Amino acid sequence: MGLGKTLTMISLILACKNYEGSEARNNDSDSDGENSNPKWSSKGRRDYYQGGTLVICPASLLRQWEFEIDNKVSRHKLTTCVHHGQKRDSKPKHLRTYDIVITTYTIVSREQKIGGALFGIKWKRIILDEAHTIRNHKSQTSEAVCLLRGTYRWALTGTPIQNKEMDIYSLLKFMRCSPFDELTHWRKWIDKSAGGQQRLNIIMNTLMLRRTKTQLQELGELSNLPQKHIELIEVELDKEEMNVYQKIMVHSRHLFAQFLMQRAERNTDLMYREQSSRPTFMQTKNPNDAYYKMHQKFTKLHRNQEDIKSYEILVLLLRLRQICCHPGLIDSMLENDDVPQMGSASEATQSELDLLEQLNQLVIDDKDVSAKEILDNSSHSNESVLLDNEQVISKASAKVLRRSNPVFDLKRPSSKMRKVLQTIKSSVLNSNDKAIVVSQWATVLEILETHLQQAGISFLALNGRIPVKNRQDIVSEFNNPSSSKRILLLSLTAGGVGLNLVGANHLLLFDLHWNPQLEAQAQDRIYRVGQKKNVVIYKFMCKETVEERIKALQDHKLAMADSILTGAKASQSSKLTLDDLKGLFGM
pLDDT digits (tens, 9 = 90+) for 134-160: 999 999 999 999 999 999 999 999 888
H/E segment holding residue 488:
strand 487-491
pLDDT class for 35, splitting at 50, 70, 90? very low
H/E segment holding residue 244:
helix 239-268
pLDDT greater than 50 at residue 394: no
Contacts of 187 (CB under 8 A, 6+ apart): none
* CATH superfamily of this structure's domain 5-9+47-210: Tandem AAA-ATPase domain (3.40.50.10810)
Give mean pLDDT, residues 552-566. Answer: 85
C-alpha span between 129 and 104 (Å, rounded): 9
% of the chain beyond a pLDDT of 90: 44
pLDDT digits (tens, 9 = 90+) for 252-282: 888 888 888 777 766 654 444 444 455 554 5
pLDDT digits (tens, 9 = 90+) for 228-254: 999 999 999 999 999 999 988 988 888
% of the chain beyond a pLDDT of 70: 75
Per-residue model confidence (pLDDT) at position 54: 98
Per-residue model confidence (pLDDT) at position 387: 41
H/E segment holding residue 487:
strand 487-491
pLDDT greater than 50 at residue 32: no
Give mean pLDDT, residues 371-400. Answer: 45
pLDDT greater than 90 at residue 84: yes
Contact, 210 vs 367, CB < 8 A? no
pLDDT greater than 80 at residue 133: yes
C-alpha span between 230 and 270 (Å, rounded): 49
pLDDT class for 96, splitting at 50, 70, 90? very high
Q: Could you give the residue range(s) of every CATH 3.40.50.300 domain in the chain? A: 228-235+411-551+579-585
pLDDT greater than 90 at residue 26: no
Give mean pLDDT, residues 178-186. Answer: 92
pLDDT class for 550, splitting at 50, 70, 90? very high
pLDDT greater than 50 at residue 5: yes
C-alpha span between 557 and 537 (Å, rounded): 19
pLDDT digits (tens, 9 = 90+) for 329-363: 988 776 543 433 333 444 455 666 666 666 565 55
Higher pLDDT residue, 577 or 213? 213
Of the given ranges (58-72, 131-145, 185-199), which has the lowest mean pLDDT? 185-199
Give mean pLDDT, residues 163-167. Answer: 85
> Cα–Cα distances in Å, from 510 out to 293, 331, 492, 507, 546?
34, 20, 10, 9, 15
Of the given ranges (105-114, 435-444, 548-557), which has the lowest mean pLDDT? 548-557
Of the given ranges (216-220, 386-390, 522-526), which has the lowest mean pLDDT? 386-390
pLDDT greater than 60 at residue 304: no
* CATH superfamily of this structure's domain 228-235+411-551+579-585: P-loop containing nucleotide triphosphate hydrolases (3.40.50.300)
Size of the chain, expressed as the number of residues it contains: 587
pLDDT class for 424, splitting at 50, 70, 90? very high
The whole-chain average pLDDT of the chain stands at 80
C-alpha span between 230 and 488 (Å, rounded): 19
Q: Could you give the residue range(s) of every CATH 3.40.50.10810 domain in the chain? A: 5-9+47-210
Per-residue model confidence (pLDDT) at position 296: 58
Per-residue model confidence (pLDDT) at position 355: 62
Q: Is the peptide bond before 92 cis (omega within 30 degrees of 0)?
A: no
